[in-house]
Amino acid sequence: MTLDFTHDPARRSWVASAQAAGADFPIQNLPFGIFRRRGSAEPWRGGVAIGDQIVCLGAAQAAGAFEGLAAQAAQAAAQPVLNGLLAQGPAAWRALRHALSEGLVEGPVEGLAEGALAPRAQALRNALVPQAAADMALPLAVGDYTDFYTSLDHALNIGRLRDPANPLTPNFQWLPVAYHGRVSTLGVSGQRFRRPWGQVMAPGATAPVLRPCGMLDYELELGIVIGQGNAAGEPVALDAALDHVFGITLLNDWSARDIQFWEMLPLGPFHAKNFATTLSPWIVTLEALAPYRTPWTRPADHPQPLPYLESAGNRAAGALDIRLEVWLEPEGASRASRLSGTSFRHQYWTIAQMVTHHTVGGCALQPGDVLGSGTISGPAPGEAGALIELSKFGREPAKLEAGGERGFLLDGDTVVLRGWCEAPGRARIGFGEARGTVLPARAAWELGPK
């Protein structure tokens, strides 16, 4: 994936807020989402974020802002979900990105008075909707959701709590471990969900009980959005894998730990994971992330990938330096507390390796499928991507900046994930946020027969 004029860090937009310090959505980003005017019954439709505004792609297309392949892509992206755009593939995605960047760029236009906008730019200006005046929806019709387990540091932190002598499962260093997740409870930032009930086996007990989760946790992850799919029985080669990825969003894989410990073996999570998963509303395209690709390495004394998971290209630029933070806002607190921060570049397996391994057995991915990266933790103590790691299973609760502490989440807690990329000589681009709030569990009488 080569860099072009859309990545130029000196490029500025006539949308002034795109240049604000620390802004998530400069002209080098241009992420996609689904929105409608706040409080309205308008149809949901596709848009692109620029500064504090949204370009309504349907309105821009109707005003003649695009032509050729970019027009076809804009028409698909203007729908209530982005799946049609995803299915068109990298050439269409790039054409629309280029057209948007050309129409949003600041600068004099030959033949027009100073300060006047070219026709494409004027069409885009007329299609702007303030983000503050918009509601956001899940941007995809997600057919399947696969959650991976690909952070060595997370696996070691959790494994040492369980079995200090044998923290890693035998397969972890040989393949990107994953399980099939639940789509029906995927939600967009702002999701509010009830604390789940489930079976729990207390230490020393001889029988489980049904009760509300007492060890509710978050997991800091990325959502990898599949663009073009692959036919059943046709694996995706490693060096072609990123052509099948449209972009990345933030993802919080909420987890009920006490329920998980009882139900986990032999088939993996069930009630512990199926009650809520929160995604950020904006999908940052893989093209926008190209300047932040970095080499991927595997320690020489570790098992090296099998040939289908190995390539020079993956070694040279398979990792992504996406900075990530977790913040906690207790109900009624005066300010939020930063719990941890890390980078996706620490991940043991790359996005391309996840896609290739997912398809090696013949699985058909579809446009709009989501792959969870697995909890993202780094090597330092403050880089843990889940409370169970930070609090050592609740035994050493994390201290909050606003006062108090947390071993696990309380009712009313809001967890906020944030992400961005920055590097010397590059524009800073962000992901927005994934925000979710824990509500009290249903009362026991609400679970009985009606």
Q: Average pLDDT over the chain, rounded to whole? A: 95
Longest pairwise C-alpha distance within the chain? 83
Domain residue spans of the chain? 5-137, 145-447
How does residue 444 score in pLDDT terms, banded at 50, 70 and 90? Answer: confident
The predicted pLDDT at position 110 comes to 54
Per the annotation, the verdict on 98 as an active-site residue is no
Q: Determine the topology of domain 5-137 in CATH.
A: SH3 type barrels. (2.30.30)
Kindly write down the DSSP assignment for every residue of 48-78, as one continuous string: EEETTEEEEHHHHHHTT---HHHHHHHHHHT
Confidence of residue 277 (pLDDT cuts 50, 70, 90): very high
Residue 1 has pLDDT above 80, yes or no: no
Helix axes 68-77, 90-104, angle to 10 degrees: 100
What pLDDT, on the 0 to 100 scale, is given for residue 450? 63
73-77, 158-162, 278-282, 380-384 — which is least confidently predicted?
158-162
Query: What's the mean pLDDT in 380-398?
Result: 95
Q: Residues 201-223: pLDDT tens digits? A: 999 999 999 999 999 999 999 99
Task: Determine the average pLDDT of the residues in 230-244.
Answer: 98
Of 116-130, 233-247, 278-292, 371-385, the poorest mean pLDDT is in: 116-130
**pLDDT of residue 112 exceeding 70:** no
Residue type, 11: R
Beta 293-294 vs 398-399: how paired, if at all?
Answer: unpaired
Q: What is the pLDDT of residues 118-177, one digit of tens each?
A: 889 999 999 999 999 999 999 999 999 999 999 999 999 999 988 899 999 999 999 999
Q: Which of 7, 154, 244, 357 is catalytic?
A: 154
pLDDT at 420 over 80: yes
Q: Is the pLDDT of residue 3 over 60?
A: yes
The b/e string for 104-142 (b: 16+ C-beta within 10 A; e otherwise) is bbeeeeeeeeeeebbebbebbbebbbebeebbbbbbbeb
- In this prediction, residue 334 carries a pLDDT of 85
Report how far residue 193's alpha carbon sits from residue 196's, in angstroms, rounded to the nearest whole number. Answer: 9
pLDDT at 109: 60
Q: What is the pLDDT of residues 72-100, one digit of tens each?
A: 999 999 999 999 999 999 999 999 999 99
**pLDDT exceeds cutoff 60 at 442:** yes
What is the pLDDT confidence band of residue 2, given thresholds at 50, 70 and 90? confident
Give dist(CA 421, CA 289) in Å, integer: 8
The confidence score (pLDDT) of residue 111 equals 56
pLDDT surpasses 90 at 287: yes
Give 335's DSSP letter: S
- Residue 114: its pLDDT value, please? 58
Number of other residues whose CB lies within 10 A of the CB of residue 68 = 9
Which residues have CB under 8 Å from 410's CB, separation 6+? 330, 331, 438
**CATH of the structural domain 145-447, one choice from 3.30.565.10, 3.40.640.10, 3.90.850.10, 1.10.1380.10:** 3.90.850.10
pTM over 0.75: yes
